[in-house]
């Protein structure tokens, strides 16, 4: 075939594999744990006749290679092969060691990280505590170099100090999720390299500590990597990694079925049978850290009525939507915090689908005959428009409520959702929220506390619980508070609780790779079949 | 009016058009909902962070200051810095432009190679089955949306028969040329290039092919009915000579004009084809920039596309004026 006749057209996949342990420590997500190394990883077995070339195709390429100057998943995946933080996460979201092999909370509430011995950047220079200090400060403080969109992600860091092989981070007040934050955020860069090079250079080149080194960067086209032979956890088995993007999901699936790539992201439900029906690839899915919900603003009628909001929860048959719209790729939710995240309350059941109860509550609320509009983004979340249409149709089928859908381009909807004043935000809209820290407070606070950047609710009791959770040093007690907050959020019903979105990947039958709960892709754990 | 003054006038008009493009695109950002800050900042960014980002991007300046600054920098060859990628727009745009030009030229080659013989055969065998067939093909080509054609080509020739690559741009035409210089396997590199470019070139070139086929056919029919052809026949010149040396040559004059103009259209019109085939050209950059409200990158892309179009138009006009001095007088 023509595509295989040339020198660069085919992705060769052959040979045998090592064990590729995923190195999972598991974690309950609470802080204060001692540093454990996690898995050493395995070098695997040699004897491969052909290079292990792995291709990953996503929906969009990066927005530059500066690991601290972006805030979106695709870029995170591309730069995350090159840069690492002090801590990391296993595939389930548990905290594991990163560049720091031990970590602890100090008596004054600060957090201390002990760096591994012998860490080097890709240019061969040693990783120093000063590099770590510089990196954290570059994210948090504008005067260090850039206005980082990640500045929120590290909480209220007040200062970073260094010692012999260690770094201490202090916060304005007590930060109960310091380790969760550092397990997800804070890629480490070399201070001298950053200071010697301008933004253009940093966005097109890389000098991290990650499992892969950059070999070729073609903006908007592809990024090619080679294994970092000096990697502290052992070099990856992959000999060459290529990351590319196709905005059209059908194009991504076609690439997979034509064996031009090995992992494709966001396979839509209607393409699943085509992938599973082929003999070259299969679908591999995992519940993600993203929750989908319908926000209802507490200060406008009819949503100012708790009964009306609860009625909306009874009116939408989420189970049917998951089954019929998402082909089963979703989990029911009943609270803002997802199962497995810190603060999840296992005793809360979803609102049952009960149109009669919904009609009764609408009558009681005094809003019978009301007309409402559900605003939804187009193409931002898995089948968002279809989900919104199904939910609106079920609400509309109530005898005493009319509901229609307004489709909006995501950027325009976000403009309204993030408006500084709650009065300017939509009344009723679909939204998704990814919680990369796996901690309930990271959903409850921004979305439901009075001061949250995206809040649609003002409730003193909930605010009080979240304030308590933030100040509580005992992890178990904090979990209890967050569980109580989730119960209250369920009862207040500021959202129609929809589902936990799944990450759906198409994976070549030539490789073995398990997806992660945090939407990150870790090709260093892939092995050849 | 002298030819020189004509050429100068057209060039100044072209500059005016490009300035118009710059202004319209700049104005669009203020009537389009959504902000680049939403593409840069996380959803839960505080208002302070948003304001800091706005200040860093220069978005908190008054409109006329932003516009004046942009035009001033543009005149110095600086198209600004991408909001999203943090890189010079000039670098981003000129990095993508070769891929788009390569695709446009390949589509033109596909179109010309098929269209001219098809148009000639259709004209010389008028009302015969082959003419009907060619007319049907050209009608189909004009009526088929290229995104649908692209998807069908991928499904049939890349997925089902596995002959071509589904998408991407493995090597470029420069690599093919370098393989000769560096004594690398030329055939292998050429085949790889063909494996990537053939399907998008067909998808993009089909409409163009249909257009040229119809133009060639009607032009050829027109020429064949003219007196000089009758005279040539009366003198006993061979039919082949009359058709392909005399009639075809005259037919090709308007065809070449349209070819020139269409090349500009192909550069600007490859957006959908590039999206379907993940072709890393200017069209893909335009889509990405619109989605992310990356105004500097979008403006840069559109300025280059608009300038290409204007340049080709000016070139065609000037060549026309050179060939036909009446155009200058008019």
Tell me the per-residue pLDDT of B42-91, one tens digit each, with 9 for 90 and over.
787 877 778 887 887 777 788 888 888 888 888 888 888 887 887 889 98
- Nearest C-alpha in A relative to B52: A147
pLDDT tier at A31, thresholds 50, 70, 90: very low
- The alpha carbon of residue B52 is apart from the nearest alpha carbon of chain A, in Å, by 7
- pLDDT, residue A188, reads 96
Q: Which residues of B touch A257 (CB under 8 A)?
A: 159
More confidently predicted of A9 and B156: B156
Rounded Cα–Cα distance for residues B83 and A517 (Å): 30
B168/A258 Cβ within 8 A: no
Q: Write the residue in B44, B280, B287 that is nearest to A152 by C-beta.
A: B44
Give the tens place of pLDDT for each residue, A262-313: 999 999 888 999 999 999 999 999 999 999 999 999 999 999 999 999 999 9
Q: B270 and B281 in contact (C-beta within 8 Å)?
A: yes
Residue B273 has pLDDT above 50, yes or no: yes
Residue B330 has pLDDT above 90, yes or no: no
Percent of chain B residues topping a pLDDT of 90: 8
Number of Cβ within a 10 Å radius of residue B244: 13
CATH homologous superfamily for the domain B90-217+259-327:
MetI-like (1.10.3720.10)
Report the complex ipTM: 0.78
- Phi, psi for residue A401 in degrees, rounded to 5: -140, 135
Span A193-199, average pLDDT: 90
Q: A24 and A92 in contact (C-beta within 8 Å)?
A: yes
A146/B56 Cβ within 8 A: yes
A220/B284 Cβ within 8 A: yes
- pLDDT, residue A260, reads 92
Burial (0-12, 13-18, 19+ Cβ within 10 Å), B279: buried
Number of Cβ within a 10 Å radius of residue A44: 20
Give the tens place of pLDDT for each residue, B226-261: 888 888 888 888 888 888 778 888 888 778 778 777
- Phi, psi for residue B196 in degrees, rounded to 5: -90, -40
Span A442-458, average pLDDT: 91
Span A494-512, average pLDDT: 95
Residue A34 has pLDDT above 80, yes or no: no
Q: Which DSSP letter does residue A126 get?
A: B
pLDDT tier at B270, thresholds 50, 70, 90: confident
Q: Which DSSP letter does residue A152 get?
A: G
Q: Tell how strand A495-508 and strand A330-332 pair up.
A: antiparallel
Interaxial angle between packed helices B282-292 and B89-124, expressed in degrees from 0 to 180 and rounded to the nearest 10: 130
Q: Which residues of A touch B55 (CB under 8 A)?
A: 147
Number of Cβ within a 10 Å radius of residue A133: 19
Q: Which residues of B touch A261 (CB under 8 A)?
A: none
Q: Within 13 Å of residue B80, how many CA atoms lie on the same side as its CB?
A: 27
Q: A461 and A488 in contact (C-beta within 8 Å)?
A: yes
Q: Which DSSP letter does residue B154 get?
A: I
Residue whose tokens read 């420590």: A25
- pLDDT, residue B329, reads 57
Whole-number average pLDDT of chain B? 84
Span A203-221, average pLDDT: 93
Give the pair of three-digit tokens for residue A281: 């690839």
- Whose CA is closest to B46, among A181, A141, A471, A454? A454
pLDDT tier at A393, thresholds 50, 70, 90: very high
DSSP one-letter string for B86-140: -SBHHHHHHHHHHHHHHHHHHHHHHHHHHHHHHHHHHHHTTTSHHHHHHHHHHHH
Residue whose tokens read 């200040």: B55
Give the pair of three-digit tokens for residue A227: 């294994």
Whole-number average pLDDT of chain A? 88
pLDDT tier at A7, thresholds 50, 70, 90: very low
Distances, alpha carbon A208 to alpha carbons A119, A237, A241, B28, in Å: 11, 19, 16, 39
Q: Which residues of A touch B192 (CB under 8 A)?
A: 3, 5-9
User: Cα-atom radius of gyration of chain B, to the nearest Å?
Assistant: 24
- Nearest C-alpha in A relative to B49: A149
A411/B34 Cβ within 8 A: yes
Span A81-106, average pLDDT: 94
Q: What's the whole-model pTM score?
A: 0.83
Q: In what order do the strands lie in the sheet with A157-163?
A: A100-105, A111-115, A166-171, A157-163
- pLDDT, residue A44, reads 42
Give the tens place of pLDDT for each residue, A152-166: 778 689 999 999 999
- Nearest C-alpha in A relative to B99: A221
Q: Write the residue in B47, B162, B276 that is nearest to A251 by C-beta.
A: B276
pLDDT tier at A247, thresholds 50, 70, 90: confident
- pLDDT, residue A9, reads 39
More confidently predicted of B264 and B113: B113
Q: Which DSSP letter does residue A297 get?
A: -
- pLDDT, residue A5, reads 63
Give the tens place of pLDDT for each residue, A14-23: 333 333 333 3
- Phi, psi for residue B327 in degrees, rounded to 5: -60, -40
- pLDDT, residue A48, reads 47
- pLDDT, residue B310, reads 84
pLDDT tier at A4, thresholds 50, 70, 90: low
Q: Which DSSP letter does residue A523 get?
A: G
Measured on CA atoms in the order B177, A205, A520, B50, is the torsion positive or negative?
negative
> What residues have CB less than 8 Å from A287, skipping those under 6 apart?
A331, A338, A339, A500, A501, A502, A503, A517
Q: Write the residue in B49, B158, B288 that is nearest to A152 by C-beta.
A: B49
A149/B42 Cβ within 8 A: yes
Measured on CA atoms in the order A339, A342, A346, A351, is the torsion positive or negative?
negative
Q: Write the residue in B52, B171, B284 that is nearest to A147 by C-beta.
A: B52
Q: A432 and A292 in contact (C-beta within 8 Å)?
A: yes
Give the pair of three-digit tokens for residue B163: 């002959």
DSSP one-letter string for A412-470: HHHHHHT-SSGGGS-SEEEEEEE-TT-BTHHHHHHHHSTT-TT-----HHHHHHHHHHH
State whether residue B328 is helix, strand or coil. Answer: helix
């Amino acid at each position: 075939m023509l595509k295989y006749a040339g020198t660069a057209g085919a992705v060769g996949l052959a040979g045998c594999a090592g064990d590729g342990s995923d190195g999972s420590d598991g974690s309950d997500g609470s802080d204060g744990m001692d540093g454990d190394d996690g898995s050493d990883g395995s070098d695997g077995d040699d004897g491969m006749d052909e290079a292990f070339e792995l291709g990953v195709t996503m929906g969009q390429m990066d927005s530059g290679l500066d690991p601290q100057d972006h805030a979106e998943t695709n870029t995170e995946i591309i730069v995350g092969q090159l840069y690492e933080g002090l801590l990391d996460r296993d595939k389930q979201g548990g905290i594991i060691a990163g560049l720091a092999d031990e970590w602890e909370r100090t008596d004054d509430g600060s957090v201390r990280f002990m760096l591994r011995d012998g860490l080097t950047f890709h240019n061969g220079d040693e990783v120093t505590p000063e590099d770590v200090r510089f990196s954290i400060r570059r994210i948090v403080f504008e005067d260090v170099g850039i206005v980082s969109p990640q500045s929120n992600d590290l909480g209220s860091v007040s200062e970073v100090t260094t010692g012999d092989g260690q770094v201490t981070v202090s916060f304005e007040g007590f930060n109960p999720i310091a380790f969760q934050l550092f397990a997800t955020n804070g890629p480490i860069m070399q201070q001298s390299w950053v200071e010697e090079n301008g933004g253009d250079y940093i966005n097109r080149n890389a000098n991290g500590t990650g499992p892969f080194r950059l070999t070729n960067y073609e903006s908007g086209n592809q990024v090619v990597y080679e294994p970092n032979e000096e990697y502290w956890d052992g070099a990856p088995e992959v000999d060459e990694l290529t990351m590319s993007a196709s905005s059209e999901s059908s194009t991504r699936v076609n690439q997979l079925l034509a064996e031009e790539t090995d992992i494709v992201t966001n396979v839509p439900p209607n393409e699943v049978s085509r992938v599973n029906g082929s003999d070259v690839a299969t679908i591999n899915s995992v519940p993600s850290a993203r929750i989908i919900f319908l926000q209802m603003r507490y200060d406008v009628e009819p949503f100012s009525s708790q009964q009306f909001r609860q009625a909306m929860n009874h009116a939408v048959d989420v189970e049917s939507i998951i089954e019929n719209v998402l082909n089963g790729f979703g989990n029911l939710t009943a609270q803002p915090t997802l199962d497995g995240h810190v603060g999840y309350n296992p005793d809360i059941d979803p609102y049952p689908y009960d149109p009669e109860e919904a009609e009764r509550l609408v009558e009681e609320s005094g809003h019978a005959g009301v007309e409402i509009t559900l605003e939804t983004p187009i193409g931002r979340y898995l089948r968002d428009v279809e989900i919104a249409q199904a939910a609106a149709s079920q609400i509309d089928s109530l005898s005493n409520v009319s509901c229609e859908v307004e489709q909006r381009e995501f950027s325009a909807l976000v403009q309204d959702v993030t408006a500084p004043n709650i009065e300017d935000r939509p009344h009723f809209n679909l939204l998704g929220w990814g919680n990369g820290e796996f901690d309930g407070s990271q959903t409850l606070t921004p979305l439901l506390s009075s001061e949250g950047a995206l809040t649609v609710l003002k409730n003193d009791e909930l605010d009080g619980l979240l304030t308590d959770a933030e100040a509580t040093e005992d992890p178990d007690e904090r979990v209890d508070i967050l569980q109580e907050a989730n119960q209250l959020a369920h009862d207040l019903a500021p959202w129609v609780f929809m589902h936990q979105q799944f990450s759906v990947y198409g994976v070549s039958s030539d490789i073995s790779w398990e997806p992660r709960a945090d939407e990150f892709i870790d090709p260093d754990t892939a092995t050849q079949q | 009016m002298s030819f020189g003054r004509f050429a100068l006038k057209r060039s100044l008009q072209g500059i005016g058009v490009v300035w118009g493009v710059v202004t319209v695109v700049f104005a669009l950002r203020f009537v389009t909902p959504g902000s680049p800050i939403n593409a840069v900042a996380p959803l839960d960014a505080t208002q302070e962070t948003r304001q800091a980002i706005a200040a860093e991007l220069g978005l908190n300046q008054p409109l006329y200051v932003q516009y004046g600054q942009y035009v001033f920098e543009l005149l110095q060859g600086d198209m600004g810095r991408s909001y999203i990628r943090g890189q010079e727009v000039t670098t981003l745009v000129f990095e993508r432009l070769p891929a788009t030009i390569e695709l446009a030229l390949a589509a033109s080659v596909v179109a010309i190679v098929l269209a001219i013989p098809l148009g000639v055969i259709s004209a010389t065998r008028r009302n015969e089955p082959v003419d009907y067939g060619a007319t049907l093909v050209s009608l189909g080509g004009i009526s088929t949306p290229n995104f649908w054609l692209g998807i069908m080509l991928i499904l049939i020739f890349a997925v089902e028969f596995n002959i071509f690559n589904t998408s991407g741009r493995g090597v470029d035409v420069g690599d093919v040329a370098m393989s000769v210089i560096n004594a690398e396997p030329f055939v292998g590199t050429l085949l790889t290039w063909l494996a990537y470019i053939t399907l998008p070139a067909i998808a993009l070139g089909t409409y163009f092919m249909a257009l040229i086929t119809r133009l060639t056919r009607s032009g050829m029919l027109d020429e064949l009915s003219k007196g000089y052809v009758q005279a040539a026949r009366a003198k006993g010149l061979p039919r082949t000579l009359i058709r392909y040396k005399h009639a075809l040559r005259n037919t090709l004059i308007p065809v070449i004009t349209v070819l020139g103009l269409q090349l500009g259209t192909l550069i600007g019109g490859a957006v959908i084809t590039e999206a379907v085939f993940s072709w890393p050209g200017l069209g893909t950059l335009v889509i990405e920039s619109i989605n992310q409200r990356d105004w500097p990158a979008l403006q840069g892309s559109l300025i280059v596309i608009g300038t290409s179009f204007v340049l080709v138009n000016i070139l065609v006009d000037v060549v026309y004026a050179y060939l036909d001095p009446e155009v200058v007088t008019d």
